[in-house]
Amino acid sequence: MAKKRPQTGAKRPQLTDGEIPVVGAREPCPCGSGRRYKACHGRAAAHAVTELVQRPFEGLPGECDWVALRELVPAATVPLTLREGLPEGVGSVTLATVLPMAWPALRRDDGSVLIGLQNDTASGDISRDLADTLQRALTAEPGTPVQGRRAPAEGPRLQDLLDLDAPFEPVVHEGFEFWVPDAENATPEVTASLERANSAAIPTVRLQGVDAAYWCRTPEKNHLRWVMPYPEEHLLDALARLHAAGRSNLGEGTRLVGSFRAHGLTVPVWDLPGEVGAQEVEKPAAEFAERLTEALAAEAPLTAEERRARGGLTNRQVTLS
């Protein structure tokens, strides 16, 4: 049998919650309670880590585009503006869908910072994880990547660090050449990663006439995937009204086939003929937006036909996150 530790009457130092560091789950809690960390202050930290935030990008400018770049778009970048301005030596901060070697973040030799959006995160709050990565990237040594870790449970979120009045304007790229401003001097690992990423990238274009709608080409057919900000049930009702009336398509040969669920938002998806490119779908998408606005304003109960249409749309939903 293991020997019991002798009990002492000495008072343990009392720490405030904000001073208690993160330690191993089975180690004594640093607060001095005598209990293991997982049974003391680690309990709240573990709950914060596992609790899922349904809409992690809510409150950020361009929430729908954040979702699209996280789940749908292969290669894109967005300049980010910090609420407190850039620290000395950091020339810019850029959000990227993916970084080489799947790094969470990278501080380049010139001091600029790139943050990867499509990485696995350790907690249920993507916004908090990304904010922690951003903070560490701002102080990293130039020329070094930032590795992933579990973010502090009480750490800031992106909504605390970014300027919420600044525009969010994604730039979609054909490939990932933005990784390497000096391709000739890239390491073999980065070059190989770039070649693999480019070969897997699906051609994607962001429409200009409506928000957060992305055309893409796959081997079988083209698609339009449109991230929408409306509550799911309300949006499905509106789509059902249009579908039952034969007004849910985007022109001849197109079809509303279902939707994704992603980070608390709904993403309707249309199949498009192979000859319909991004430019050809701009006008039909703008016209559909007007029809959808009218359908969203309707207050009458769904008819039997509309309920059947809604059931079909609901059955063709796929949850991405």
DSSP string, 14-42: P--GGGPPP--TTSBPTTSSSSBGGGTHH
Angle between helices 278-297 and 232-244 (to 10 degrees): 110
Higher pLDDT, 7 or 78: 78
Rounded-to-integer distance, Cα 168 and Cα 95, Å: 10
Instruction: Return the ∠ at Cα 40 (arms to 39 and 43), rounded to 5°.
Output: 70
Select from 211, 230, 210, 212 the least CA-distant residue to 284. Answer: 210
Q: Let me know: does 273 contact 221? Beta carbons within 8 Å.
A: yes
Residue 50 has pLDDT above 70, yes or no: no
What residues does 266 pair with on adjacent strands? 228, 261
Give the tens place of pLDDT for each residue, 129-156.
Answer: 999 999 999 999 999 999 998 888 889 9
Rounded-to-integer distance, Cα 194 and Cα 180, Å: 9
Rounded-to-integer distance, Cα 32 and Cα 16, Å: 11
Q: Let me know: does 70 contact 158? Beta carbons within 8 Å.
A: no
The arithmetic mean of pLDDT across residues 66-88, rounded, is 97
Residue 9 has pLDDT above 80, yes or no: no
Rounded-to-integer distance, Cα 233 and Cα 266, Å: 10
Higher pLDDT, 16 or 184: 184
Confidence band (pLDDT; 50, 70, 90) for 318?
Answer: very high
Report for 177-186, 212-221, 277-286: range of highest mean pLDDT: 277-286
Least confident of 26-30, 53-57, 110-114, 165-169: 26-30
Q: Let me know: does 317 contact 259? Beta carbons within 8 Å.
A: yes
- 0.85 exceeded by the pTM? no
Residue 237 has pLDDT above 80, yes or no: yes
Rounded-to-integer distance, Cα 249 and Cα 95, Å: 33
Rounded-to-integer distance, Cα 263 and Cα 9, Å: 51
Residue 23's pLDDT is what? Answer: 62
Select from 288, 219, 216, 278 the least CA-distant residue to 251. Answer: 288
Higher pLDDT, 96 or 153: 96
